[in-house]
Structure 1
Amino acid sequence: MLPRGRPRALGAAALLLLLLLGFFLLGGHLASFPCALPPRVPPDGRPRGAAVRDPHPQEDHGGHNRSDCVLPRPLPPKCELLHVAIVCAGHKTSRDVITLVKSLLFYRKNPLHLHLVTDAVARNILETLFHTWMVPAVRVSFYDADELKPQVSWIPNKHYSGLYGLMKLVLPGALPPDLARVIVLDTDVTFAADIAELWALFAHFSDEQVIGLVENQSDWYLGNLWRNHKPWPALGRGFNTGVILLWLDRLRQAGWEQMWKLTATQELLTLPATSLADQDIFNAVIKGHPALVRPLPCVWNVQLSDHTLAERCYLEAADIKAVHWNSPKKLRVKNKHVEFFRNLYLTFLEHDGNLLRRELFGCPSPRPPEAERLQQALAQLDEEDACFEFRQQQLTVHRVHITFLPHEPPPPRPHDVTLVAQLSMDRLQMLEALCRHWPGPMSLALYLTDAEAQQFLRFVEASEVLSARQDVAYHVVYREGPLYPINQIRNVALAQALTPYVFLSDIDFLPAYSLYDYLRASIEQLELGSGRKAALVVPAFETLHYQFSFPSSKADLLALLDAGSVHTFRHHEWPRGHTPTDYARWREAQAPYRVQWAVDYEPYVVVPRDCPRYDPRFVGFGWNKVAHIMELDAQEYEFLVLPEAFTIHLPHTPSLDISRFRSSSTYRGCLQALKDEFLQDLSRHYGAAALKYLTALRQP
């Protein structure tokens, strides 16, 4: 028998266990930092589990942090809006921001407001991206970095980030005055936990504390890295500013602007420049005002670099919250666990961003009007409709990342022409040849998954031909849906062309070597800039030979044509598409000549940049260019065939969509339905002028 008092004790213990279990199950609303356990490293060397440092480390007499047992901390309310600020400039940093944001969105359970301080390049990229990403419960505000530059341009800085590396100093004045708190992140941070846990640490600031930072994990501020190494002043090892909690209203009340400027001015009397940009100045201010800083748990800024001591943190930690790749060398850091961190980074680099378009259940957030209309249109679709996937694909809004790679816009010239085309991963090998044939600017849209976008990036960087071209703008349209949205992709490339005229081509065509110069001269001679509405037709040919000596002139082309090595484009399969070009006349022509529109005509043309866009309802294979040429004709463009111009189609395997078109009567029936709808819309828009199209199409 148990002693009489034992059941009561067991009942109390059971109640305590139930309370603890309930406390644990509320883990989605608690940020816990458990007591220390013996650290352990498994045989494979990858850090897993054990003790967590005190989130409020205090220095002992030996200068080391000690860990105490602390109670769990409540997370912010589920629907509280969390604010995050990021400074971003240029093409590469814009890509880094996207990876960072993916990691935030993957774990987050709260609405987010992103405050992005950008240059013009990054703003153009990120505005388009977030507009097309359409992530629920995410707001984005932009701030002009050029307006902030005068506030920091007086500070000499040797850091590779330049002036942008100093701009975190001016955030309290740049961000809205009613914004009280913000998390500030470097672009090379990857999250491995819910950012709400980090936000929760604001609740543990004392009344004096205004800046939350993690201790610096390198030896930089100890001043012993090399002879005569003289870093800026810092408390002990100093603090790293890759992750910062800023209590903005307190900073403003404390006179932050005067404080950091006075400190920087004084230190620059004896130091030539900052080496670590804003981090040097933050640390110098904290050295003089130590009460301002709130030390944060090291797991919120695990710093990976060539000389990191971060291992001391994460080997003692139960989990890692945020990894900071604080080195321009990124994944090449000298760290024996780098493969572990590399895999975390690559997870989000290649993660399908479409999967992050998820609602925050229980947190009502109004959709933008465009998203609301889209949702209503999708809800009205009939899933039993045989053409459901065509309807759905037309309504899909694809994420768009414009100028995915560094791009230098062409200098303004009155008759300049941009080659516009689209492609997918299976046509990537055609890019180098195209760059050799067309020396002018290009705007190319690529339909890729997130993982394929990284393969494309590596492909370009490894190519001497492609990496040398800064006048080629690549725009990634992220893959979503079963059908190839060809006209939507074309419209992205067309919208990003910066020259007055565009050559609307396809990626599997190689233009004549002289075509770029010839087109510019023709535009000038025909005085198209004077208001004349003309579409210049570039006659299209094809070869079936994979090994092919490209003709250097029209005379060489005619010889190949006569020898049977080259044919007029699709002369056997689809003669109606190009017959109106009148190739017999072209052989003898010495001057441009006018041709008339005809049913199914789809030439490759040069038109002004503000020409009609392609009709986005045409997805997959069929009628996508035909509809566009018909609309050019409806707007009274005259078609002028250029006598010395030509482009040649190269052989390749057929696309999935053309195979489906050929094999599926349902597919062909859906295409016919799209044609009928297009013609009805054309009649409504152009009235009696569109009757000729209906009449012509009814003729056998």
Structure 2
Amino acid sequence: MTYCTVEQCYIMILVALLLALMMFVQTDLLFPADGVELKAQREQWACGYGNSSEHDHTLRLLAQHLRWKTTALIHVACVCAGHNASRDVVTLVKSVLFHRRNPLHFHFITDTVANRILSSLFQSWMVPSVQVSFYDADELKSEVSWIPNKHYSGIYGLMKLTLTKALPPDLSKVIVLDTDITFATDIAELWGIFRKFTDKQVIGLVENQSDWYLGNLWKNHKPWPALGRGFNTGVILLYLERLRRIGWEQMWRLTAERELMSMLSTSLADQDIFNAFIKQNPVLVHQLPCFWNVQLSDHTRSEQCYTEVSDLKVIHWNSPKKLRVKNKHVEFFRNLYLTFLEYDGNLLRRELFGCPSQANPESVQLQAALEELDEDDQCYDFRRERLTVHRVHLYFLQYEYTPTEDDTDITLVAQLSMDRLQMLEAICKHWEGPISLALYMSDAEAQQFLRYAQASEVLKNRKNVGYHIVYKEGQFYPVNLVRNVALKNANTPYVFLTDVDFLPMYGLYDYLRRSMVQLDMAHTKKALVVPAFETLRYRLSFPKSKAELLSMLDMGALYTFRYHVWPKGHAPTNYAKWRTATTPYKVEWEPDFEPYVVVRRDCPEYDQRFVGFGWNKVSHILELDAQEYDLMVLPNAFMIHMPHAPSFDISKFRSSSSYRNCLNTLKDEFHQDLSRKYGSAALKYLTAQRTI
């Protein structure tokens, strides 16, 4: 008889236990047939255990198989088009990320607008264990454009029919979601239902909870054919591999063609065609428990779907009334929705438990840069702030812009936080041209801004204003980073770089466009200076002309900007000369000069090392001078600074000597970098700084 050692017996017992556990595990999760899932899991989610004996190797393989089960890559698809849908999908994604324990791969079928918004958002969000792929909806339009559709979703409401063609051919399974969905549980539970499909089932759906397909809502109501109450397509489990095998593309087309002969158009977009298909092929559908798609509208049976709200898994806001639906649990639904609407998305950047994910290259570079910082450096907080990656949601509201034919259009570019929101309406009244605004806000503040903008008659009627949310994170206001977001998303050849607490003179937009032509800015490097003034009065009769402004200046109702606090900032504008000037005149750069200027959009970006208060605009003007821009003061242009409470950052600057010391350190480093970038010609800035 052969006896095992204690170590060998211990290993054999572990192996036996693991084998016993595996008997209860579905084969398709341990050894996924899906090529995409298997490759991703093997490459991204299998942790190494080092070299060891043959027994250890067996244990390692078994442990990896179990780990692949618990960290299966879940695929989620959404059709998303336009600005509003892009906002909605963020709330959906937040609810999924909040509960999930698995790696995720989002597949977005998007138009150009949504692609730009969501690609920028996810790139800056940097959520670990999340992959994102985009598919061009324009390439799919021909697949469904022949179908007349009365639903408000238009052609995009039909695109879920095309997913077997749109998504990668080796993708086996996918959860398909409408953008107005909120998860109240881990999406892995829904993914696990694929294991309950019979061999023939290809689609998982929840029964429709309204009476639409029963045909008794009003006289002569004639819905598309459906099995019983029909099914709602807000949440779908699609077994893509099997759908391709049975010829889904041909089958749904034949169904649609047959029914359109009598129905003439769809009323509920893809849902009508899915239901007509299922009516003819009931064996192919797997009915999901109704709590996986609780449909909230005034005419649904959703309250019969659950006994306690804790039973809910997915809430579907498929009523145009959204949060105002009639339901005894409406407060619970509203609070759950608002929780994710205003939830701090930065908190979702946490790593998953279990195997550490393979970080993307950007994350690796960022971590390496952070590790190089010296925590004992008294300016550590400033240096760390420069490395902070802020989430950015471009075009938070509807945006429409048509380029001018003469190629002289100009965008007003500015940044703001919540405490300057009241300036927006006045700026829109003073400037009729396009505007690009970057707003530094928390998730909750962004929703407050949304409600403010939707309630404002002035803002509602202006579609040529691009609002870009930069989400708060860190100790300082990243003012130059926020400015750069607004600058980079201007869509005109020229930009007017200003601050949101300034009101431009009436007619400045047209005057600047004429000036750009007269000064041949298309072929020369010029920065047009708009002279800045200020008032200490909260209510001001705004001057309608230069003559009126000069009169108010003489009477003490207006002042040259910051003349009593920071004269260096604007003195080089030469206000004495401006009073009588009738043609543009050139001024020379001087230390600490920070005018508001009009330049070509391809000008240098703002230096992002400067955060909070101090030297953020000065450094930009300095680099314009280093690139040999001519500073030209416009004789008939002006802007007026309106009074407001001092910012938190200026208070820190005034009260903290370490803050001011670090700012001086950053200035020196900026000068040195400028000298390296522009050579000996830039040494004058360093010399000028040291003689001050």
Q: TM-score, normalised by structure 2?
A: 0.89
Q: Does the residue aligned with 2:140 lie in a helix, a strand or coil?
A: helix
CA contact (8 A) 2:205 2:235 kept: yes
* In 1: Cα distance, 2:355 partner to 2:92 partner: 23
Tell me if structure 2 keeps the 8 A contact 1:76–1:196: no
Contact 1:76 1:199 (C-alpha < 8 Å) held by counterparts? no
2:358 is aligned with 1:363: no
Identity, in percent, stands at 70
Measure the CA separation in 1 of the matches of 2:116 and 2:568. Answer: 41
Distance 1:476 1:211 in 2: 38
Segment of structure 1 superposing worse, 656-665 or 321-330: 321-330
1:542 aligns with 2:534: yes
State whether residues 449 and 478 of structure 1, in contact with CA within 8 Å, keep that contact through their aligned partners in structure 2: yes
Residues 668, 303 of structure 1: alpha-carbon distance in 2 compared, 3 angstrom cutoff: same
Query: Quick one: distance in 1 between partners of 2:627 and 2:84?
Result: 41
Report the more deviating stretch, 368-377 or 137-146. Answer: 368-377
Contact 1:299–1:317 (CA<8 Å) still a contact in 2?
A: no
The 5-angstrom pairing of residues 116-515 of structure 1 reads: 116-315=108-307, 319-412=311-404, 413-515=406-508
Give 1:617 shift.
Answer: 0.4
How far has the Cα of 1:203 moved from its partner? Answer: 0.7
Q: Partner letter of residue 342 of structure 1?
A: R
Q: SS at the partner of 1:657?
A: helix
C-alpha displacement of 1:699 = 1.4
AA partner of residue 166 (structure 2): A
Provide, for residues 32-73 of structure 1, a one-character-per-residue CA deviation record: whole Å limited to 9, x for no partner: xxxxxxxxxxxxxxxxxxxxxxxxxxxxxxxxxxxxxxxxxx
Contact kept, 8 Å, 1:75 with 1:196, in 2: the verdict is no
SS at 2:375 equivalent: coil
1:390 positional shift = 1.1
| Cα distance between partner residues in 2 of 1:165 and 1:273 | 13
Kept after mapping to 1: 8 A contact 2:478/2:610: yes
CA contact (8 A) 1:75 1:200 kept: no
Q: Tell me the residue number matched to 2:659.
A: 667
2:32 corresponding residue in structure 1: none
In 1, are the aligned partners of 2:668 and 2:686 still within 8 Å (CA)?
A: no
Equivalent position SS for 2:598: strand
CA separation of 1:227 and 1:634: change in aligned 2, threshold 3 A: same
Q: Does the CA-based 8 Å contact 2:97-2:348 persist in structure 1?
A: yes
The alpha carbon displacement at 1:409 in A equals: 1.6
* Deviation for aligned residue 1:384: 3.6
Aligned residue number for residue 13 of structure 2: none
Question: Which residue of structure 1 aligns with residue 49 of structure 2?
Answer: none
Residue type at the aligned position of 1:431: L
Query: Once the two structures are superposed, what CA deviation does each residue of 1:5-34 show, in whole Å capped at 9, x if it has no partner?
Result: xxxxxxxxxxxxxx9xxx9xx9xxxx9xxx
Alignment-derived partner of residue 44 in structure 2: none
CA deviation after TM superposition for structure 1 residue 364, in Å: 3.3
Show CA shifts across 1:229-259 (max 9, x none): 1111111111111100000010001010111
- Over the aligned positions, Cα root-mean-square deviation in angstroms equals 1.6
Cα distance, 1:360 vs structure 2? 1.3
CA gap of 1:516–1:255, structure 2 versus 1, over 3 A, is same
Q: 1:318 to 1:484 in 2, by over 3 A?
A: closer
- Contact 2:309 2:329 (8 Å CA) reproduced: no
User: Match for 1:271: what amino acid?
Assistant: M
SS in structure 2 of the partner of residue 528 of structure 1: coil
SS in 2 for 1:420: strand
Contact map agreement 2:398 2:463 (CA 8 A) in 1 = yes
1:542-598 deviations in whole A, cap 9, x for unaligned? 111112111000000100111111111110110011111111111111100000000
Query: Given that residues 331 and 342 in structure 1 are in contact (C-alpha distance below 8 angstroms), is that contact kept between their aligned partners in structure 2?
Result: yes
Write out aligned runs for 1:619-638 (5 A): 619-638=611-630
Partner of 2:646: 654
> 1:694 and 1:116 mapped to 2: Cα distance?
50
Q: Is the 8 A contact 1:155 1:273 kept in 2?
A: yes
How far the C-alpha of 1:362 sits from its partner, in A, is 2.0
Deviation at 1:76, TM superposition (A): 7.4
Equivalent residue, structure 2, for 1:682: 674
* 1:552 partner SS: coil
Matched residue SS, 1:243: strand
Letter in 2 for 1:430: M
Distance 2:121 2:254 in 1: 39
* Cα offset, 1:318, TM superposition: 5.7
If each structure's helix is expressed as a fraction of its own residues, which one has the higher value? 2
Paired with 1:268 and 1:75, the residues of 2 have a C-alpha distance of: 49
What one-letter code is carried by the residue in structure 1 that aligns with 2:163?
L
Describe the SS at the equivalent of 1:372: helix
Letter in 2 for 1:435: C
State whether residues 76 and 177 of structure 2, in contact with CA within 8 Å, keep that contact through their aligned partners in structure 1: yes
> SS in structure 2 opposite 1:269?
helix
Asked whether the 8 Å contact 2:672–2:686 carries over to 1, the reply is no
Corresponding residue number in structure 1 for 2:517: 524
Shift of 1:200: 0.4
SS in 1 for 2:70: coil
Task: Give the distance between the partners of 1:480 and 1:671, measured in 2 at CA.
Answer: 20
Cα 1:663/1:574, change in 2 over 3 Å: same
| Partner AA of 1:501 in structure 2 | Y
Tell me, which stretches of 5 or more residues in structure 2 are unaligned?
1-16, 30-65
Asked if 1:89 corresponds to 2:81, the answer is yes
Number of residue pairs the alignment of both structures matches: 630
Worse overlay, 533-542 or 689-698: 689-698
What is the CA distance between 1:669 and its match in structure 2?
0.7
For residue 366 of structure 1, report the CA deviation from its aligned partner. Answer: 2.1
Matched, 1:103 2:95: yes
The alignment partner of 2:258 has SS state of helix
**Is residue 342–residue 444 contact of structure 2 (8 Å, CA) maintained in 1?**
yes
Cα gap change, 1:216 to 1:598, in 2 (>3 Å): same
Q: Deviations over 1:501-552 (max 9, x none)?
A: 00000000001002111000000111111x2000000001111111211100
Give 1:694 deviation, angstroms.
1.2
> Cα distance 1:301–1:77, how it changes in 2: closer, same or farther (>3 A)?
same
Equivalent in the alignment of 2:573: 581
Whole-Å separation in 1 of the counterparts to 2:565 and 2:538? 19
Tell me if 1:601 matches 2:593: yes
Aligned residue number for residue 66 of structure 1: none
Amino acid at match of 1:191: F
AA at the equivalent of 2:552:
L
Distance 2:506 2:70 in 1: 61
Deviation at 1:316, TM superposition (A): 6.3
The one-letter code sitting in structure 2 at the alignment partner of 1:404 is: F
* 1:346 to partner: Cα distance: 0.6
Taking the aligned partners of 1:318 and 1:395, their CA distance within structure 2 comes to 41
